[in-house]
């Protein structure tokens, strides 16, 4: 039997990059997932294992970061063209480069006083859990998938260190999380109309965002408590709120090997593993009723 090599390509998939521009008010965030596929005179690597024409996929990943730092990201079409031209123009064996980019939008949370605080557009889900038993009606409202980020005004230091600790202390970091919150309405929301429930949800969401933006964070735990406290302080119809907030880590990319400085501008957005911070904030004397998952 005779076989031949057909169409082939290779590249790097799902390169996560966050580019922060701090010279505007508010800060400008470009949050992308980039996929690269390269093809050309690459038969030898398949047929004989000769890699002399192969640009490593790790190099392709590094190129995504380096060109973002060097040229910025005005829009994904322009940035995609920059990447595609780079691979074809600099690699003799590469005749075709396909670049696919997904962009995730972010909107400022608050006023110009907090230019570093953002909420990701779309994706959040409003929830409720209603229980009727012998003690009456219990209503727990909530939101999941509310993704927020501070591009600065966050640090993490002074923590316990043992022989396995490698994490470095930082006085300036990106703080990003997904807010998953549930709050208990006093007396089962007795007397509240549909409009009242809608208004309560909108106001609670707003106060969660305001507290996230206004809190200078020394830890995600501190931010969680500040958000819960702010909701209860402004919502007499709520007596308890439970928050679950994963720490969506953003790591600075080391661009020194490419002769570039990275002054808190280009990040790798990791999706796992992640720290998970959870806690309940309730009024004094109230027995919590929201279950712990």
Going residue by residue through the chain (293 aa), what tens digit of pLDDT does each one get? 999 999 999 999 999 999 999 999 999 999 999 999 999 999 999 999 999 999 999 999 999 999 999 999 999 999 999 999 999 999 999 999 999 999 999 999 987 889 999 999 998 999 999 888 888 889 999 999 999 999 999 999 999 999 999 999 999 999 999 999 999 999 888 899 999 999 999 999 999 999 999 999 999 999 999 999 999 999 999 999 999 999 999 999 999 999 999 999 999 999 899 999 999 999 999 999 998 87
Residue 261: inside a domain: no
Other beta carbons within 10 angstroms of residue 52's beta carbon come to 7
By annotation, the residues acting in catalysis are 12, 57, 249
How many structural domains does the chain have? 2
Same domain, yes or no, for 64 and 89?
yes
Same domain, yes or no, for 148 and 92?
no
The whole-angstrom distance between residue 126's C-alpha and the CA centroid of its chain comes to 19
Same domain, yes or no, for 137 and 238?
yes
pTM: 0.90
Q: Using the 3D structure, point to which of 61, 80, 104 is the last residue of a domain.
A: 104
> Nearest Cα to 124, choosing from 154, 151, 104, 103?
104
Same domain, yes or no, for 142 and 100?
no
Q: Using the 3D structure, point to which of 104, 124, 143 is the last residue of a domain.
A: 104
H/E element, 268:
strand 266-269
Contact yes or no for 34/25 (Cβ under 8 A) = no
Q: Which residues span the domain enclosing 239?
A: 107-163+170-249+269-282
């Amino acid at each position: 039997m005779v076989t031949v090599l057909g169409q082939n390509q290779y590249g790097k998939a799902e390169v996560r990059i966050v580019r922060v521009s701090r010279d505007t008010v508010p800060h400008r965030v470009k949050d992308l997932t980039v996929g690269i596929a390269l093809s050309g005179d690459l038969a030898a690597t398949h047929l004989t294992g000769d890699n002399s024409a192969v640009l490593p996929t790790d190099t392709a990943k590094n190129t995504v970061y380096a060109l973002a730092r060097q040229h910025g990201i005005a829009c994904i079409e322009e940035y995609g063209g920059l990447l595609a031209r780079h691979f074809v123009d600099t690699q003799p064996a590469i005749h075709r480069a396909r670049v696919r980019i997904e962009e995730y939008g972010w909107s400022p949370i608050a006023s110009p006083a907090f230019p570093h605080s953002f909420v990701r557009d779309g994706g959040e889900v409003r929830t409720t859990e209603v229980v009727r038993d012998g003690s009456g009606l219990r209503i727990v409202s909530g939101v999941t998938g509310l993704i927020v980020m501070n591009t600065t005004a966050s640090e993490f230091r002074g923590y316990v260190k043992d022989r396995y600790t490698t994490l470095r202390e930082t006085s300036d970091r990106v703080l990003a999380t997904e807010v998953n919150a549930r709050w208990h309405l006093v007396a089962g929301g007795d007397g509240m109309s549909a409009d009242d429930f809608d208004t309560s949800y909108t106001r609670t969401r707003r106060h969660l965002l305001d507290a996230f933006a206004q809190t200078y964070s020394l830890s995600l735990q501190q931010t969680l408590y500040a958000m819960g406290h702010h909701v209860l302080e402004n919502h007499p119809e709520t007596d308890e709120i439970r928050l679950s907030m994963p720490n969506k880590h953003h790591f600075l990319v080391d661009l020194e090997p490419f002769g570039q400085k990275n002054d808190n501008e280009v990040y790798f957005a990791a999706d796992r593993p992640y720290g998970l911070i959870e806690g309940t904030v309730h009024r004094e004397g109230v027995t919590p009723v929201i279950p712990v998952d």
